Structure 1
Amino acid sequence: MSVETSFDGNKRERVVVIAPGRGCYNKEELGYLHSLHSDKLAFIEGIDAYRKPLQQESIYALDGRDKYSFKLHTAGENASALIYACAMADFMDIDTEKYEIVAVTGNSMGWYIALACVGALDSDGAIDVINTMGSMMQAGLIGGQLIYPEMDEEWKQDKTQRDLIDKAIEQVNDEVGCQVYTSILLGGYRVLAGNEAGLKRLESTLPNIDDRYPMRLYNHGAFHSPLLGDISMRGLASLGEILFSKPSVPLIDGEGGIWTPQSTDIAKLRSYTLGAQVTQTYDFTKAVHVAVKEFAPDKLIVLGPGNTLGGPIAQSLIDIDWFGWGGKSDFSLSQSESPKLLAMGNEQQRQQVVTG
């Protein structure tokens, strides 16, 4: 349990902070910066100042539009910067008198945000890395992604489903011109990346579930797969080691590796961030497992915008019976009585996290 004491003598709860990835800024999140973070204009204007010479629209203006546009708001060069701004602003609002942040991790693009949260990228370096990597496919997406469940109704891992997905991947890759890969291990879901031929074949191979899955992810490229080898090389060529620093708080990456303030090799951190993190499977489930097993937090805080990570995090914890959660029903009961998972994109839970 908590051992740190705040300035007023009260015990602080230990928390792991988790940053979201692409796909969390949707219609419901339009106006997130305006409604929650109008007090952080200097931070937001710094992002817009970086984007202006690139002839990219102001994120504050994007957030303030009257209507949400799939084409505009989900484009890589806009979505990445918007999500970073919202998540980083949320991180600034965490009440550190109440909570001791013992580790930080993130999902997919959330890795870049996690780097910013712990100072491994400063504010200038963070928007440089996030905007650069988010804009790499501005001229046209490389491949795409789809998502498919591999859990049962109680959010427990289903070996039959896992085997079915693995078999489908193998079958599709045996066909001429088809490429598909496991992109993200996301709690009870598998995110799959591939070229268009591979994804179309996969959609016809995987059984339809509830007329919803397999689900294509709009405006998503083939992230975390060998198809982004060129993107990785371009990132390594344009983003120097000078942008990176040692983290002030331990980081858990998409392989379950821990980067500590004492032991981080900056060159290796950059190499992972722009190399393996881009071209290999991102194991978010493992990152969550390592975070709770190694740092024993009292709670987990998920940065906004939105709350798309709530389910995958709970499913990851159910997988190891953490907090005594043996299934979805245990999680739901626990959250209704005394939440262990606090999403800042949820208005009620946000109030338990922010100062005041």
Structure 2
Amino acid sequence: MAERERIVVVCPGRGTYNAPELGYLARHHAGHPLLARFDAIREQGGKQALTALDAAPKFTAAHLKGDVAAPLIHACAYLDFLALDRDRFEVVAVTGNSMGWYTALACAGAVDAEAGFRIADAMGVNSQAHDEGGQSVLVLADDDWRVDPSLEAQVAALMQAHGVLPSIRLGGMLVVAGPSAALAAFEAALPVLSRPPMRLPGHGPFHTPLMHPSAAAARASLPLDWFGQPQIPLIDGRGAIWRRAVTDPAALWDYTFGHQILQPYDFTTAITVALREFAPDRLVLLGPGETLGGAIGQVLVRNKWLDISSRSRFSARQGEDPFLIGVGRPGQRGIAIPCDTTSENSATS
């Protein structure tokens, strides 16, 4: 038997289930026993079943709300994780972006399948509890995915001047958050960027102290005893690694519903640590969607990983032998998941 390739799995966050992804669960995971269990949990809470949301005749703004988007994305990603070809791949670490942290907890075995879904489902609701404010995405990278340090410094100074907070570091992008008036004034003062700032519809000021109501709701309703030690190393939004046998479940619970909600999420550092500490043969980005692929590519360029020093070099490598496999990309899904037969999958895979 050939030696398995070592992969780091990346779990996506909000903004990855959009109109093209409608029907993702039906196409790839219809009949999976866990999907029926997830639907039952939703229905017990008086919420619409995931299969019904996924089977809607058209994609609507309702699909973007936290209490719908979070459980949909989690279910798609987690069931993709269970379907990965374990004969070909060895998962050496798991990480995620923002809401993808909750999926990463389940993939790494720090919480079980049902608890992982309950956390994602509850945090979809809790994410709508926050002080006034929202998020805006700034594209700092140029067309070749390089970032000018002087531009970063200028943006940082304007953030401080207008009371805008860092939310997520995302490769060559920066997500900022704050009260709506502060964001508007900040956006008006920005220099010309490669793309205009984009306000994220339906998003609160995630990963800032303005999310205290969300953190308080999580701590009150999501118990510590759901948490255990990860079975696979888990890289968090600071780049810290939670390893089996040395992880304190109480500390992991505290991070998840404290720092992870209230402080910036550094996805750039998480991917950098994944590369440098685990030196994987490939990165595997779970579905749905593939919107996170560009950000991951930008982190590769920032690190000049495998001599990938520009967008064109990244594209060339992806065309020859993809280092980044996007499970949500039809042309790459078959590399990581040879077939979508759910009968062979189980909650304990």
Paired amino acid for 1:104: V
Matches within 5 A, 1:1-356: 9-40=1-32, 42-70=33-61, 72-138=62-128, 142-173=132-163, 180-209=164-193, 212-355=195-338
SS of the residue 1:352 aligns to: helix
Instruction: Give the distance between the partners of 1:171 and 1:265, measured in 2 at CA.
Output: 39
Cα gap change, 1:73/1:299 in structure 2, threshold over 3 Å: closer, same or farther?
A: same
Verify the 8 A CA contact 2:282 2:324 in the aligned structure 1: yes
Cα gap change, 1:85/1:142 in structure 2, threshold over 3 Å: closer, same or farther?
A: farther
Aligned to 2:343: none
Q: What stretches of structure 2 of length at least 5 have no aligned partner?
A: 340-349
More deviation in 232-241 or 251-260?
Answer: 232-241
Instruction: Give the distance between the partners of 2:128 and 2:207, measured in 1 at CA.
Output: 17
Post-superposition CA distance 1:217-245 (Å, at most 9, x none):
11111110010122112211221111111
Report the TM-score when normalising by structure 2. 0.94
Aligned residues: 339
1:337, distance to aligned residue in structure 2 (A): 0.8
Paired amino acid for 2:41: Y
Verify the 8 A CA contact 2:128 2:204 in the aligned structure 1: no
SS of the residue 1:200 aligns to: helix
Instruction: Give the distance between the partners of 1:285 and 1:60, measured in 2 at CA.
Output: 33
Instruction: Give the distance between the partners of 1:346 and 1:246, measured in 2 at CA.
Output: 32
Using the aligned pairs only, state the percent identity: 43
Instruction: Give the distance between the partners of 1:104 and 1:350, measured in 2 at CA.
Output: 18
Verify the 8 A CA contact 1:254 1:277 in the aligned structure 2: yes
Paired amino acid for 2:191: P
Instruction: Give the distance between the partners of 1:60 and 1:213, measured in 2 at CA.
Output: 36
Post-superposition CA distance 1:53-81 (Å, at most 9, x none):
322111110110110002x1011110000
1:138, distance to aligned residue in structure 2 (A): 4.6
Instruction: Give the distance between the partners of 1:101 and 1:278, measured in 2 at CA.
Output: 26
Instruction: Give the distance between the partners of 2:150 and 2:245, measured in 1 at CA.
Output: 42
1:88, distance to aligned residue in structure 2 (A): 0.7
Paired amino acid for 1:326: S
Structure 1 ranges of 4+ moved more than 3 A? 137-142, 207-210
Instruction: Give the distance between the partners of 1:37 and 1:141, measured in 2 at CA.
Output: 37
Paired amino acid for 1:13: E
SS of the residue 2:115 aligns to: helix
Question: Superposition RMSD on alpha carbons, in Å?
Answer: 1.4
Instruction: Give the distance between the partners of 1:268 and 1:234, measured in 2 at CA.
Output: 18
Cα gap change, 1:37/1:142 in structure 2, threshold over 3 Å: closer, same or farther?
A: farther
Cα gap change, 1:353/1:141 in structure 2, threshold over 3 Å: closer, same or farther?
A: farther
Post-superposition CA distance 1:102-141 (Å, at most 9, x none):
0000000000000011111112211221111110255788
SS of the residue 2:336 aligns to: coil
Instruction: Give the distance between the partners of 1:56 and 1:237, measured in 2 at CA.
Output: 20
